[in-house]
Amino acid sequence: MEVTYSDRIPNNVGLHDNRRLQRALEAWQPRYLDWWHQMGPESFDAAHVYLRTATDVGRGGWANFDWVRLPEYRWGIFLADPEPDRRVGFGEHRDDPAWQEVPGEYRNQLRRLIVVQGDTEPASVEQQRDLGKTCPSLYDLRNLFQVNVEEGRHLWAMVYLLDAHFGRDGREEAEALLERHAGDADRPRILAAFNEPTTDWLSFFMFTHFTDRDGRFQLEALSESGFDPLARTCQFMLREEAHHMFVGTTGVGRVVQRSCELMREGDTDDLRPLGGIDLHLLQKYINFHFSVSIDLFGGETSSNAASYFSSGLKGRFHERQRSDDHRLLEATYALTEVGAQGLRQVDVPALTAINEGLRDDYIANCQKGLDRWNAILAEQGIATRFTLPHRGFHRSIGIFAGHPITPTGQLVSPEAWAAARDEWLPTDADRAYVHSVMRPVVEPGRIAGWIAPPASGIDDHPVDFEYVRL
Ligand SMILES: [Fe+2]
Ligand SMILES: [Fe+2]
């Protein structure tokens, strides 16, 4: 694939030869930059940041490290290399040639899928706008900005699809992606979890572990799409996404590490006098971020999800590696639901339970992070272990919504649930405490007292490298 470096927008989608598309994107670009200035990282426009920039999808091209001022980041458009003779992998059109153009009958559904995905990308940049001011180290500050610019690029990726394949209404949707804002009373972002500000770095690490991972699983499902440009866009986005989850998983792990050290040094579980984050508080943050993130998968049974699958638009996680019929005409799924006596299982058609299946895969993947954190506890000789709460705990969407279910999956009375709530979820006082330890550390090699340094630096540089020149 040839990259047209001469274009204002680095790309491997032949923008140079498509005047109509080029004009559309060049008209959108200044609005994007306005949005970045207004809603992107506050007060770091002049800083030089050691960032990874994609200039091609090939091995040498997608991870170029260099010093960049954030507003000058080159947000490009890249599709993974095409797969020769690619076929639709699932649903009614299985084995048909993959679509290079939007099938007319699925136009609205496809546009909706792209818009919902696209909406989350700038939303997280908006949510994280203020975080830079309280960074625990320059290494972390750089990682925040890397995540931010890549979420910006993911917005470009979705806007490219809208402009290239959906004509006028695609352009209108591209505009609207810059007009909705996280937490805006009149024009909020589409999904609830993307309207809460990320106010502290513990929340940021939890967000990148849990909520970016929802993003990963949505991209995994879309990367199976029979609409080939969408599949290839998502395949490339997934490479960048992996770094976001690395930031989250290792970030929480470093907090766990530091908390263990403080517990041993002070011979106490109560780390607040030492400026640390105690393990119970970490478990509460896990409970909160896990429960709001699994809401993002939607209702357990969904006719929309069934239709996205049957139509070949959105597959399952690792669709191609599965050995079933890829149509789900006969299969059933054992769904957990809330009965009068408590939780129970019922068999439902697997086709209607696509969302729940993706949630299962997501939960299994989240658990791997917890296993890593628990391994740190074990190494440090601490007996506590973190657990994921039951999927019915603290839900706002689907069959568990509003039911008083405990983290271990017991259906209890609303009074009992309310009485224990502060043991399970962060309280205002907890959040205020976490806030109080978030003081900026911006000297190279120094790190805040509530988190351990990373095991290694970025791009073979040492941990004390000056990753951001302020
Ligand atoms: Fe993203
Ligand atoms: Fe991400």
Tokens of 206: 């939890």
Cβ atoms 449, 273 nearer than 8 A: no
Query: What spacing in Å lies between the alpha carbon of 148 and ligand 1's midpoint?
Result: 9
Q: How crowded is residue 11: how many other Cβ atoms within 10 Å of its Cβ?
A: 25
- What does the pLDDT read at residue 385? 98
- What does the pLDDT read at residue 1? 41
* pLDDT tens readout for residues 306-326: 999 999 999 999 999 999 999
Query: What spacing in Å lies between the alpha carbon of 358 and ligand 1's midpoint?
Result: 18
Query: What spacing in Å lies between the alpha carbon of 415 and ligand 2's midpoint?
Result: 38
- Answer whether residue 136 shows pLDDT above 50: yes
The count of residues in the chain is: 470
Place of tokens 């209890």: 412
Query: What spacing in Å lies between the alpha carbon of 198 and ligand 2's midpoint?
Result: 14
Q: What average pLDDT score do residues 148-161 get?
A: 96
* Ion ligand 2, residues whose Cβ is below 5 A away: 212, 241, 244
- Answer whether residue 4 shows pLDDT above 70: no
SS3 (DSSP) at 283? helix
Q: What average pLDDT score do residues 228-234 get?
A: 97
Residue 50 and residue 369: Cα distance in Å, rounded? 27
Residue 48 and residue 68: Cα distance in Å, rounded? 5
Percent of the chain scored above 70 by pLDDT?
99
Query: What spacing in Å lies between the alpha carbon of 396 and ligand 1's midpoint?
Result: 23
Query: What spacing in Å lies between the alpha carbon of 213 and ligand 1's midpoint?
Result: 10
Mean pLDDT value across the chain = 94
What is the side-by-side strand order in the sheet with 468-469?
Answer: 64-69, 48-53, 468-469
Residue 344 and residue 176: Cα distance in Å, rounded? 42
Give the bridge partners for 384, in sequence order.
Answer: none
* pLDDT tens readout for residues 156-202: 999 999 999 999 999 999 999 999 999 999 999 999 889 988 999 99
- What does the pLDDT read at residue 125? 96
Place of tokens 């340094």: 453
Query: What spacing in Å lies between the alpha carbon of 154 and ligand 1's midpoint?
Result: 5
Query: What spacing in Å lies between the alpha carbon of 241 and ligand 1's midpoint?
Result: 6
- Answer whether residue 54 shows pLDDT above 90: no
Q: What share of the chain is helix, strand, coil (3-state, %, to 5)?
A: 50, 10, 40
Q: What average pLDDT score do residues 41-66 get?
A: 86
Query: What spacing in Å lies between the alpha carbon of 119 and ligand 1's midpoint?
Result: 10
Among the bound ligands, name the one nearest to the CA of residue 128. 2
Query: What spacing in Å lies between the alpha carbon of 151 and ligand 1's midpoint?
Result: 4
Write the CB contacts of 422 (distance below 8 Å, at least 6 apart in sequence): none
Cβ atoms 227, 79 nearer than 8 A: no
Query: What spacing in Å lies between the alpha carbon of 412 and ligand 2's midpoint?
Result: 36
Query: What spacing in Å lies between the alpha carbon of 386 and ligand 2's midpoint?
Result: 24
* pLDDT tens readout for residues 326-380: 999 999 999 999 988 889 999 999 999 999 999 999 999 999 999 999 999 999 9
Among the bound ligands, name the one nearest to the CA of residue 208. 2
Query: What spacing in Å lies between the alpha carbon of 461 and ligand 2's midpoint?
Result: 23
Report the relative pairing of strands 64-69 and 332-339 from DSSP bridges.
unpaired
Residue 86 and residue 295: Cα distance in Å, rounded? 33
- Answer whether residue 259 shows pLDDT above 50: yes
Band (148; pLDDT cuts 50, 70, 90): very high
Among the bound ligands, name the one nearest to the CA of residue 218. 1
Among the bound ligands, name the one nearest to the CA of residue 157. 1
Q: What is the DSSP string of 187-215?
A: S--SSGGGSS---SHHHHHHIIIIIHHHH
pTM of the complete model: 0.95
Using CA atoms, how far residue 168 sits from 15, 29, 110, 196, 367, in Å, is 18, 17, 15, 31, 43
The larger pLDDT score, comparing residue 119 to residue 7, is at 119
Geometric angle at alpha carbon 405, from 402 and 407, rounded to 5°:
130
- Answer whether residue 145 shows pLDDT above 90: yes
Query: What spacing in Å lies between the alpha carbon of 242 and ligand 2's midpoint?
Result: 8
Query: What spacing in Å lies between the alpha carbon of 143 and ligand 2's midpoint?
Result: 12
Query: What spacing in Å lies between the alpha carbon of 215 and ligand 2's midpoint?
Result: 6
Tokens of 63: 């991870």
Residue 240 and residue 64: Cα distance in Å, rounded? 12
Among the bound ligands, name the one nearest to the CA of residue 241. 2
Query: What spacing in Å lies between the alpha carbon of 13 and ligand 1's midpoint?
Result: 19
**Residue 411 DSSP label:** B
Query: What spacing in Å lies between the alpha carbon of 244 and ligand 2's midpoint?
Result: 5
Query: What spacing in Å lies between the alpha carbon of 78 and ligand 2's midpoint?
Result: 16
Q: What average pLDDT score do residues 113-121 get?
A: 97
The larger pLDDT score, comparing residue 56 to residue 139, is at 139
- What does the pLDDT read at residue 16? 85
Asked whether the CA dihedral 372, 373, 377, 379 is positive or negative, the reply is positive
Q: What average pLDDT score do residues 129-145 get?
A: 97
Query: What spacing in Å lies between the alpha carbon of 218 and ligand 2's midpoint?
Result: 11
Geometric angle at alpha carbon 400, from 397 and 405, rounded to 5°:
130
Among the bound ligands, name the one nearest to the CA of residue 121. 1
Among the bound ligands, name the one nearest to the CA of residue 154. 1
Among the bound ligands, name the one nearest to the CA of residue 146. 2
- What does the pLDDT read at residue 2? 44
Q: What average pLDDT score do residues 122-146 get?
A: 96
- What does the pLDDT read at residue 10? 86
Query: What spacing in Å lies between the alpha carbon of 116 and ligand 1's midpoint?
Result: 12
Among the bound ligands, name the one nearest to the CA of residue 246. 2
- What does the pLDDT read at residue 137? 98
